Amino acid sequence: MKVVLCPCGSNKNLADCCARYVEGNEPAPTAEALMRSRYTAYTLLREDYLLATWHASTRPSLLALAQDAPTKWLGLDVKRQQQLDADHAIVEFVARYKVHGRAQRLHEVSRFVREDGRWFYVDGEID
């Protein structure tokens, strides 16, 4: 069986890393794990997972990823993860990607909340 590395940068097999969250087999145990799995979902065009893990207060009705210009995701660098209290956390990251051959960087400090034992992405500040 061919080993496919997880796009999140963990250097783990996709099946042993983010796939178990993206496929809905188990909830991400931490805000960082959720952020990494959401990055992986973007690389796999898994809009269903992205919307399901987006907090209802800020969730868009759709993302239309397949209709956007093709994005080639190049890598993820998690800068820091901070647990603010039992149910609130922030994760700072840099995601690198290309659109129409032009390199881009997304540097964001994302906010997460845990409700009923599940982490959700709320929003983020882009640097």
Separation of alpha carbons 75 and 58, rounded Å: 26
Q: Do 28 and 119 form a contact (C-beta atoms < 8 A)?
A: yes
Separation of alpha carbons 51 and 88, rounded Å: 19
CATH entry 2.60.40.420 includes domain 14-126: no
Separation of alpha carbons 2 and 8, rounded Å: 18
| pLDDT at residue 70, as a whole number | 84
pLDDT in tens, 23-65: 998 999 999 999 999 999 999 999 999 999 999 999 999 898 8
| pLDDT at residue 25, as a whole number | 86
pLDDT in tens, 87-125: 999 999 999 999 989 999 999 999 999 999 999 999 999
Cross-strand pairs, 89? 83, 112
| pLDDT at residue 2, as a whole number | 76
| pLDDT at residue 1, as a whole number | 63
